[in-house]
Chain A
Amino acid sequence: MKRLAKWRMISMFAIITLLLSGCGEPFLSTLQPAGEVAKEQFDLMMLSVAIMVGVIIVVTLIFAIVVVKFRRKDDSIPKQVEGSHKLEIIWTVIPIILLLILAVPTVASTFKFADVSEMDKKNEDGKTDALVINVRANLYWWEFEYPDEEIITSQDLVVPTGQKVYFNLKASDVKHSFWIPAVGGKMDTNTDNVNRFYLQFDEQKANEAGDLFYGKCAELCGPSHALMDFKVKAISPDEFDKWVADMQSVKEAETAETPLAQQGQEVFNNSCIGCHAVTPATGAPEAARLGPNLTNFGERSRIAGVLDHSEEELKNWISDPEAYKPGNKMTNAYNKLTPEELDAVTEYLMNLKVQD
């Protein structure tokens, strides 16, 4: 009997896992975990679902019997029962055991996910062996700083697969929350303190997801909270090292190549550079980094996190940011551009690339 129950549990577990893992898109769904953290969280979910489905089945059985069997048939008065100590003990003790089964792995995982001791281990150069990324959340964009590599990028987070990536999380204006559903649970970016956690990106799953995971802001932060998306490019460690080197090679703003782009650079230097940097250097204070860093803008996957990466959408965005992200800080921060200036800036921005 006991063995039978165990088999039932396992087969139920398998069925539920199979059913749920088909749900959602591989680049977004927590049900298609693409990394160690998400996988462990998924397993915990499935364990709790299995236990809970068991509870639901028991309740449903009793429920069905009751509503079918004990309908009023005549005017007789049923026996008045006070209760039953035996039953009371059964339905107190069994839930406690079930909860213990869930509580043990919960506590273990909670401590495991909080283990960021690698972030504190500095080698001789004063750097960490593990990759650390500082995430700064802003109304409605994300900045990613690689302190050891001394580069900054925005909106598209670039990470290597197959290793733990550690994050320092904070917000510069109001509270946000950093969430890459397919790769692992979220953590808030507070205004008060720096939160720390780690994620790990699975190479094969990244390929299945088209090397691009969707990241979300999960804490209400204002009108455009729904549009505060970012993307995660998970690439192999070699490609990542190459990308870092390419970024590091940009020491100062590169001069645009075509005449139109040069004209655009001029406009950019007059109107945009107050907020947007085009070099990845980490030197400027945070308060001066008012807008997303655009060093590798031409290689990004979206404009403003949500629009297609095309010249047309870029022009739409620059012409009227308020129409696409209400309440953003870019609106009215610069003078309106003429159509010619718009063409030029677009040309310039779309050609901001670091990878050769």
Chain B
Amino acid sequence: MSTYAQKKGFGATVWDYLTTVDHKKIAILYLIAGGLFFVLGGLEAMFIRIQLAVPNNDFVSAGLYNEILTMHGTTMIFLAAMPLLFAFMNAIMPLQIGARDVAFPFVNALGFWLFFFGGIFLNLSWFLGGAPDAGWTSYASLSMASEGHGIDFYALGLQISGAGTLMGGINFLVTIINMRAPGMTYMRMPLFTWSTFVASALILFAFPPLTVGLFLLIFDRMFGSNFFDVANGGNTVIWEHLFWIFGHPEVYILVLPAFGIFSEIFATFSRKRLFGYSSMVFATVLIGFLGFMVWAHHMFTTGLGPIANAIFAVATMAIAVPTGIKIFNWLFTMWGGSIKFTTPMLYAVAFIPSFVGGGVTGVMLASAAADYQYHDSYFVVAHFHYVIVGGVVFGLLAATHFYWPKMFGTMLNETLGKITFWLFLIGFHLTFFIQHFLGLMGMPRRIFTFLPNQGLDAGNLISTVGAFFMAIATLILLYNIVVTSVKNEKVGNDPWEDGRTLEWAIPSPPPFYNFKQLPLVRGLDPLWIEKMEGKKTMTPAEPLGDIHMPNNSFTPFMISLGLFVAAFGALYREDYHWGVMVLIAGLGITLLSMFVRSVKDDHGFHIHKEDLLNDDDKGGKA
């Protein structure tokens, strides 16, 4: 945190974060909130594994188990993985392209608060009559039949947080298109920026179908419509299509930024430029494009018929090609390099075999006729955990270690980091490898218990043991964060010493205006180019001048709070007479806040040239 924050009291710091529009502070908010939900989702995972450790266990009841499995999936995807990725996108992407902030700082803050209030709303269901229990996919016939308000919390909560995600995605797109520093052409952008760009485009096209699906669900459950009511001419398969038209691109929204993070790490710690940069970019775009053509492979057993199944099977297999290109490019980035095994690099290296494991089972699942056996069995559970943990979570853990000094100005402890890594790696494979076989041996997914004498006992026990390894690894990571934050040993611009891209050319953490003078980019890996010519810093592209900055604003918080309140009104509208009033009041708060935002002229402020020069004299901050 900057020297400003240290001078402030606790209350002032909180207020600063509630009103901030600075992409670096919003990144920290995403990191804290996402981390919190990650721990929550992890706890739910532990409950699942404890319940399934032995046959006929009664650690949790059948109904509660369904709530836990639903919240585990929903939390991990929407409230942990996505926001944690958004944290790094926010923190790093503008620095990588040499920008002073994202294109719409206000919208950036709004996106965070919408996500945060949506997530809180969803999790409050635990205390208000029960969480959703129809799985994270919430298939229509079951979600329509589900009693209580669990599914309503799901639909409303995701609608609010989804709006935030959509805004974030659009913001990143505009930022990358418009705010690149002089010389930063598209084909000079670091891979993490490229993958942020493609993932944001996927968000733009994938979230609207989810929004539509959730609205239909909300209207069916809360306002008496019949979109999914078969008896009244509705159709539940429509939900499956809408959900997966969103849901499949969603996994690429998660994994592409992770690919980007790994690309940065491989290049950095191999001291080599990324092998086949242009084919990496091409593969990223192609994966994003194909990601929209394959959703029905989640529905091979729905009964779409052989023509649809065959087409979607072949289309799905096609995705293996660009993914394979990436794997080999990473391997050949390291080939001939000078590899330093830091903690982030360990995660990156371990990611390759782990993710290939998930990738090959993905191709197996693409084979429609064989998928009739795999579908909805533990084989699928093993597959997507290999992809999402082995790909996304490894990526997030790697990024946490890699970018921590850039975000907070201090390094995480490497020894503790490596202990975390080994425990997590062993635990991960112990938990999920055996699940492939459990599935093939006839274990359906989403079962709250299993009977003895079906040959499933040993595998499930091994799986549970593995989960504890991962839990311990996470605890050590948290300990690491606390210890190093307390010590707070400051680091310089380029703490890993092998930094190649623009973010390593400025102080850690960067000043709130990022770049005093926008840098001149002369090629891929701009900092590396300068380093190779014996320079320590970037050549500026502009003379020192005033910098225009946006003012802080409390309005994003209020707009989001209004929707949070309105959601309670919609939820309780039929139970209590005050429901409608709360709904109107909540929407009123939101609309009024938006009105204030519209009519109030806020021109921001300028940092004057003289002050920037003063910063230099003091030495510390710039």
Taking Cβ atoms with an 8 Å cutoff, the residues of A that contact B are: 20, 23-25, 28-31, 38, 40-41, 44-45, 48-49, 51-52, 55-56, 59-60, 62-63, 65-67, 70-74, 76-84, 87-88, 91-92, 95-96, 99, 102-103, 106-107, 109-114, 169, 171, 173-175, 177, 179, 181-182, 184-188, 190-193, 195, 214, 216-227, 229, 306, 326-327
Contact = CB atoms under 8 A, between A and B. Distances in A.
B400 interface: no
Contacts of A192: 230, 235-237
B463 interface: no
A164 B619 CA distance: 83
A122 B366 CA distance: 36
Nearest to A81: B275
Contacts of A66: 331, 334-335, 339
A67 B331 CA distance: 10
Interface string B356-372: 11001101101111111
A102 B367 contact: yes
29 contacts: A20-B440, A23-B440, A24-B455, A30-B441, A41-B372, A41-B373, A45-B370, A56-B356, A59-B353, A71-B339, A77-B338, A80-B272, A82-B273, A87-B332, A95-B321, A99-B317, A99-B318, A99-B321, A102-B367, A106-B310, A110-B369, A113-B306, A114-B306, A114-B309, A169-B303, A218-B375, A226-B62, A226-B450, A326-B61
B360 to A, nearest CB: 4
Nearest to A67: B349
Chain A contact residues: helix, strand, loop or mixed: mixed
Contact of B321 (A31, A96, A218, A225): A96
Given A28-B455, A184-B372, A220 B340 contact: no
Nearest to B274: A83
Contacts of B442: 24-25, 28-30, 181-182, 214, 216
Given A24-B455, A78-B271, A99-B318, A225 B447 contact: yes
B301 A190 contact: no
- Residue among A49, A110, A174 with the most chain B CB within 10 A? A110
A224 to B, nearest CB: 6
B568 interface: no
Contacts of B66: 220, 222-223, 225
Given A81-B273, A95-B321, A29 B336 contact: no
A225 B301 CA distance: 18
A107 B371 CA distance: 12
A76 B317 CA distance: 42
B539 interface: no
Contacts of A67: 334, 339, 349
A214 B447 CA distance: 15
B511 interface: no
B278 interface: yes
Given A29-B455, A179-B444, 10 more contacts: A44-B370, A70-B337, A82-B276, A84-B332, A107-B313, A110-B306, A173-B145, A175-B141, A191-B141, A220-B446
Contacts of B451: 229, 306
Interface of B: 61-63, 65-66, 133-135, 139, 141-142, 144-145, 230, 235-237, 270-273, 275-279, 301-303, 305-306, 309-310, 313-314, 317-318, 320-321, 324-325, 327-329, 331-332, 334-341, 349, 352-353, 356-357, 360-361, 363-364, 366-373, 375-377, 437, 440-442, 444-451, 453-455, 532
Contacts of A38: 373
Contacts of A70: 270, 334-339
A103 B447 contact: no
A111 B310 contact: yes
Contact of A29 (B317, B367, B441): B441
A113 B370 CA distance: 11
Contact of A174 (B145, B328, B329): B145
A218 B376 contact: yes
A21 to B, nearest CB: 11
B372 A185 contact: yes
B356 A59 contact: yes
A20 B379 CA distance: 14
A190 B302 contact: yes
Nearest to B273: A80
Nearest to A37: B372
Contact of A220 (B135, B310, B318, B371): B135
Given A186-B376, A221-B142, A327-B63, A52 B360 contact: yes
Nearest to A112: B369
Given A48-B363, A92-B321, A219-B376, A78 B338 contact: yes
Nearest to A219: B376
A28 B364 contact: no
Contact of B364 (A49, A84, A191, A224): A49
A83 B237 contact: no
Contact of A41 (B340, B369, B454): B369
Contacts of B332: 81, 84, 87
A88 B441 contact: no
Nearest to A109: B369
Contacts of B453: 25
Nearest to B230: A191
A190 B441 contact: no
Contacts of B328: 62, 87, 91
B349 to A, nearest CB: 6
Contacts of A24: 437, 440-442, 455
Contact of A71 (B65, B303, B341): B341
